[in-house]
Amino acid sequence: MKNNTINKKEIEKFSKIAEEWWNPEGKFKPLHKFNPIRISYIKENIIETFKLVNKETPLKNIKILDVGCGGGLLSEPMCRLGATVTGIDASDKNIKIAKLHSKKNNLKINYYCSSPEKFKVKDKFDVILNMEIVEHVEDVNFFLKSCANLLKKNGIMFVATLNKTLKSYVFAIIGAEYIMRWLPIGTHEWDKFVKPDELISILEKNNFKLDKINGMNFNVFKNDWNVGRDKSVNYIAKFIKN
């Protein structure tokens, strides 16, 4: 039985560029471009599911776990929206950067250097964010099962990742890494990409029901991201725990 989801090679890769997390023109530039659409998608879906009505702090009293939080690019906006946020990452360097940045911005976020299978909590979370992380873990099945154990019944799990298609190889690896140089070469490994039906099947076995799945599409002409139907490269899915 597997008891570890940490891929050491992946952790080293991201630890090396940890200093870059909050530089919008640095190595994480694509994530900075991507972030506003992720934030609004998560926010709107949490509000809709839990029928929240607070306009000023829309996510007040919602407990969120951001898995593979990196430097806190998603944890911080979720905190600003009123949620109680915990971020975990297997890279100690990432966690140090995240703690430093949230402190500088007077945001109360609990950060821990951990992977989901090693993370122990008394109270489970309302929402778990698995954003651009499943394609970097050692064992997707065990990783998602470990995350499922940390979520309340009727809680939401968001998973955003890359589809395993020829198009994703051309766009996400050849295009983004080798031609456009948006990402460091070697950021992604195509054989670790996850097809939507594979993801749905894993989570159904762990008592999750797919609520919705959308494509995340980049418009080259407008130089921005939008939520659409095309799931052939990036996609995001929302699951509810039964």
Taking only the tens place, the pLDDT of each residue in 167-210 is 887 877 786 767 777 777 777 788 888 999 999 999 999 999 99
- Which amino acid is located at 66 in the chain? D
Average pLDDT of 69-88? 98
> Is the CB of residue 135 less than 8 Å from the CB of residue 193?
yes
**Closest C-alpha to 9, from 191, 176, 187:** 187
Q: How confident is the model at residue 2, as a pLDDT?
A: 60
b (16+ CB within 10 A) / e for 84-95: bbbbbbbbebbb
Name beta bridge partners: 240: 156, 209
**Closest C-alpha to 78, from 122, 111, 100:** 111
Q: How confident is the model at residue 1, as a pLDDT?
A: 47
Q: How confident is the model at residue 52, as a pLDDT?
A: 96
Provide the residue ranges of all domains of the chain, joining segments of one domain with +. 8-241
Average pLDDT of 69-82? 98
- Report the Cα 172 to chain-centroid distance in Å: 17
Calculate ∠ Cα 34-176-201, nearest 5°.
Answer: 65
Lowest mean pLDDT among 30-39, 147-156, 214-223: 214-223
Work out the percent of the chain whose per-residue pLDDT is above 90: 71
Classified as helix, coil or strand, 219 is strand
In this prediction the pTM is: 0.92
Q: How confident is the model at residue 221 (pLDDT cuts 50, 70, 90)?
A: confident
Is CATH 3.40.50.150 what the domain over 8-241 is classified as, yes or no?
yes
Q: How confident is the model at residue 3 (pLDDT cuts 50, 70, 90)?
A: confident
Lowest mean pLDDT among 97-106, 200-209, 220-229: 220-229
Question: What's the rounded Cα separation, in Å, for the pair 50 and 148?
Answer: 18
